[in-house]
Chain A
Amino acid sequence: MNEPSQLVEHFFRHQYGRLVAMLTRSFGVRNLEIIEDSAQTAMSKALIHWSKTGIPNEPNAWLFRTASNVLVDRLRRQKWETPVDVERTDSIDLVSSHHSEHDCSDEVGDEPLRLLFLCCHSTIPVESRIAFALKTIGGFGTSEIASALLISNANAEKRITRAKEKLRELGEEIALLDSRIMEDRIDAVRSTIYLLFNEGFAASSGRENLRRDVCDEAIRLARMLIRFCKFEHATTSALLALMLLHSSRFDSRVDTQGAIVLLEDQDRSKWNWHAIREAMDGMMIATQGTALSRYHIESAIAWEHCRVPSFEETNWEKIVEYYHVLDREFPGPMVSLNAAISRGYRDGPEVGLSALTAIDPGARSKLRPWWDCAMADAYRRMGKTAEAIAHWHDARTLASNSQQQELIDRRMDASKGSGLFDDGI
């Protein structure tokens, strides 16, 4: 027996998304269910076949051929039930032979991306888009999605089904997606990709490797978007740069026990400098032209953090400036919070504190427990231990998971320690 060749990491996962998207282009969104089933079956067949014979030279072509055959077979069996498919079957051979020459090579087509544009229709809720994108385009299993997004299996299933039902209802087709629709939706696509990234990046409990895969999937989609969408390159490049800069800190933002490590305590030598390099290239492209998006400004901020060797050397002057622009152009509760915190670092904790208390209560409610942590930290820096501890307590009560609680506990202990020392007790 030959040395079995190894498949690249995530081969099946990525191929799954590709198969589904290509078949959906040919056979229509209304057949999505049966298409996904056929892709799954093709992989089961590969499992039996390849384990015995070894992996073929063109595994993706093999999978595509097999999945198309399974699908055509199922549609033929079904045709008496759904007369629409009778006409479809006539063009099936054409479809499969057309694809086999062309799209089965390693060259990945833009179909997965087009499927993402379809699901970013304004009537599909964002959380459904994310779950659908992970399942159907990313090839994640339902339970993997559930454990990466910290939701139940049933909930994940519900979100995916919601998107599929809506897609069927809308009746839009990949093949008919024109550049006008794509231009209309590119903003929604980008923000869906960014939210998907944030879902994976937010350090909460859950399987760390899966969360990283979710981030990588967002980065993969952004790369695809740059490759296939010939417009708004600058903004998409800014988004890619931003995600790369964040992802460079992926390994250092939690310690070996899985506890959150704050930016100021992270070992900067452990940041992924390859990702940072690539992000720099992306930022170069992002600055060509006149586009200014929130991704531009956010990546500039992330870059300010990356470029200095230690937290103490952070250029708060610049960061406050960037947050000011962000707050003016793209306001939001998180922006207000970060703007207040960075002012506290530039102008001292008293100024930070008044900026924090100036955030309106409506926005504040969306920021807990982070607002409470920031308040506590400002008081700690002012030496007002009792107030700091009171806010840590609030934060702890509002924390949504044990990792957050643990982080807050550690901060609370640290401020107690220094507080006692300051009071001379």
Chain B
Amino acid sequence: MAKFLLIYRDEVEPKSQPSPEEMQGFLAMWGEWFQKFGGKIVDGGDALLPTGRVLKAGGEVSNGPYVEAKEMLGGYSVVQAEHYEEAVVIAKECPICKVGGMIEIREFAGYN
């Protein structure tokens, strides 16, 4: 079993704040996802606030999260799977995909 990091990327400027009703919908979706893949999810992870600092090699610090193109890092989870294909199957059903977000899937090297 290998471990995979699911990296969630959202749009930098989301269309609007989700309404309470939409949030309840997301909650139900996350619940279903955890229910379905509970054994495979090592760490449910967390969401990240849209604030941040970027520290460059020279010691220069700038404000704001590091933004690539139109997406920025919004959260993560850790799952275990036999191979990338299985990790993709898990990620495909993650609510992030259903609300228009993007997921990057990376295998852990297992150094520790």
Contacts and interface: CB of A to CB of B under 8 A. Distances in A.
Nearest to A39: B20
Most interface-central of A10, A47, A50, A140 (chain B CB within 10 A): A47
A143 B31 contact: no
A143 B35 CA distance: 31
B52 interface: no
Interface string A182-195: 00000000000000
B13 to A, nearest CB: 15
Contacts, number: 71
Contacts of B27: 7, 12, 46-47, 50-51
Q: Is the interface of A mostly helix, strand, loop or mixed?
A: helix
B51 interface: no
Interface residues of B, number: 22
Nearest to A144: B19
B26 interface: yes
Contacts of B97: none
A136 to B, nearest CB: 11
Interface in A40-83: 40, 43-44, 46-48, 50-52, 54
Contacts of B17: 40, 141
Chain A interface size range: 20 to 34
15 contacts: A7-B28, A13-B24, A43-B23, A47-B27, A48-B44, A48-B47, A48-B75, A50-B27, A50-B31, A51-B31, A51-B33, A52-B30, A139-B21, A140-B21, A141-B20
Interface of A: 1, 4, 6-7, 10-13, 15-16, 40, 43-44, 46-48, 50-52, 54, 139-144, 153
Given A141-B17, A144-B19, 11 more contacts: A12-B21, A13-B20, A13-B21, A47-B23, A47-B30, A48-B47, A51-B27, A51-B30, A51-B34, A54-B31, A141-B22
